[in-house]
Amino acid sequence: MFKKTLVSGVLVSAVAVSISAQARSMTMLSSWEASYNAVPVFAEGFMEEVKERSGGELDIRMRGPETVPPFEQLQPVSSGMFDFLFTHGAYHLGETGMAFGMDAVEDNPEERRESGIYELIDEHYQTEHNLKLIGVFSAASGYHFLLREPIGDSGDLSGMSIRASATYHDMVQELNGAVVTLPASEIYSALDRGVVDGAAWPVFGAMDYSWYEVADYMTRPTFGVTNLSLFMNLDRWNALSEKDQELILGVAKDLEISGREHFETLWAEEDEAMQEAGLAITEFGPETASQVDSIFAAGVWKQVRERSGPLGAEFHERAVEAGLTAE
């Protein structure tokens, strides 16, 4: 009897050790491959810093869009198939517009956190999607349009067909352009063949995708702020020790500042490279130029209110009260 109990105890201990070891290894699902410059700065930077600060006890491995397509990633992380999700709020607008709202919030990490809007976003994702908000990372830049021809006398996008995801629909229409819905993989060929007159995209990307070969102009001023969000499965978060939770949040908070500073340099380099590659700047007309930020913000907040319920409305109101949005 003693021998059997001893063996059982050893087995139980072995299983417990195995579960404990497994609990220290986690996975991050990313909406982009490593070639997208936000991945090494924010996603890989986060994983490396967590591992270093934990003395190697917390090890996060990345899985990219080849594992799960970007627009389908919220549910697998919510259900616990993966532990972390590195994404953009526009990629799950079908489920909620809450994180997307950050693209209409002023680009100041400290003021964002002090305003309390992170708590609202966190509450929404915990309640509705079983996810914990870990951090929101700014790429220190916004959005623009790549065009085959310069802005005309109208000063806006009149007469132009623009490839635009849901992120930009309201913006394009307010600027009198016609929306064309195409996947990002078809932007190059659509511009090349004249299927569209332009494409809306973050200011980062033309160099990576060689769109400067099929577009000659990029619009200024830019508008909005490109943000990447990091979430964690709520059950997995709750299973962590308080020490590990504080470590993870501390890394994210520090990276919101250091990563943004790094992106300021990257953006300056890319802007110069795009112009050297032949992309000329075309300016919106004076009246339109003064409104592009507020036009974009209005479209974002419309999505937030329509798709995110009472907390979405509260998020918008809080941003307005704190003076953190252009609308």
Determine the Cα–Cα distance for residues 310 and 129; give it in Å rounded to an integer.
15
Q: How many domains does the chain have?
A: 2
Instruction: Give domain status of residue 230, yes or no.
Output: yes
**Does 59 lie in the same domain as 123?**
yes
Helix, strand or coil, per DSSP, at residue 50? helix
> Which residues does residue 136 pair with via DSSP β-bridges, in sequence order?
229
Instruction: Give domain status of residue 2, yes or no.
Output: no
Type and span of the H or E element at 217: strand 217-220
**Does 217 lie in the same domain as 129?**
no
Determine the Cα–Cα distance for residues 239 and 118; give it in Å rounded to an integer.
22
Instruction: Give domain status of residue 242, yes or no.
Output: yes
Instruction: Give domain status of residue 309, yes or no.
Output: no
Query: Phi-psi bin for 155: left (phi > 0), alpha (psi -120 to 50), beta?
Result: left
Strands 280-283 and 217-220: parallel
What CATH number does the domain containing 288 carry? 3.40.190.10
pLDDT tens series, the chain, 327 aa: 434 444 334 333 333 343 344 447 999 999 999 888 899 999 999 999 999 999 999 999 999 999 999 999 999 999 999 999 999 999 999 999 999 999 999 999 999 999 999 999 999 999 999 999 999 999 988 999 999 999 999 999 999 999 998 889 999 999 999 999 888 889 999 999 999 999 999 888 778 889 999 999 999 999 999 999 999 999 999 999 999 999 999 999 999 999 999 988 888 888 899 999 999 999 999 999 999 999 999 999 999 999 999 999 999 999 999 999 987
What is the Cα gyration radius of the chain?
22
**Does 134 lie in the same domain as 174?**
no
What pLDDT sits at residue 237? Answer: 98
Query: Residue 61 phi/psi, 5° resolution?
Result: -115, 140
What pLDDT sits at residue 269? Answer: 87
Query: What is the distance between the terminal CA atoms of the chain, rounded to a whole angstrom?
Result: 75
**Nearest to residue 205, comparing CAs of 274, 293, 292, 275?**
274
**Does 92 lie in the same domain as 47?**
yes
Could you tell me the pTM of the whole model?
Answer: 0.87
The separation between CA 68 and the C-alpha centre of its own chain, rounded to angstroms, equals: 16
Instruction: Give domain status of residue 28, yes or no.
Output: yes
What CATH number does the domain containing 255 carry? 3.40.190.170
Determine the Cα–Cα distance for residues 244 and 264; give it in Å rounded to an integer.
30
Sheet holding 131-138, edge to edge: 59-63, 25-30, 84-87, 227-233, 131-138
What pLDDT sits at residue 320? Answer: 95
Instruction: Give domain status of residue 324, yes or no.
Output: no
**Does 254 lie in the same domain as 105?**
yes
Instruction: Give domain status of residue 171, yes or no.
Output: yes
**Does 184 lie in the same domain as 165?**
yes
Which two structure tokens, joined as six digits, stand for 102? 């950050």
**Nearest to residue 143, comparing CAs of 70, 225, 263?**
225
Domain that holds residue 51: 16-140+225-266
Helix, strand or coil, per DSSP, at residue 33? coil
> Which residues does residue 229 pair with via DSSP β-bridges, in sequence order?
87, 136
DSSP secondary-structure letter at 325?
A: B
Determine the Cα–Cα distance for residues 206 and 193; give it in Å rounded to an integer.
17
Instruction: Give domain status of residue 307, yes or no.
Output: no
**Does 176 lie in the same domain as 28?**
no
Which two structure tokens, joined as six digits, stand for 162? 């623009």
**Does 280 lie in the same domain as 176?**
yes
Could you give the angle at which helices 242-276 and 44-53 cross, rounded to 10 degrees? 150
What pLDDT sits at residue 10? Answer: 39
**Does 72 lie in the same domain as 133?**
yes
**Does 148 lie in the same domain as 133?**
no
**Does 280 lie in the same domain as 192?**
yes
**Does 69 lie in the same domain as 136?**
yes
Evaluate whether 248 touches 240 at the Cβ level (below 8 Å): yes
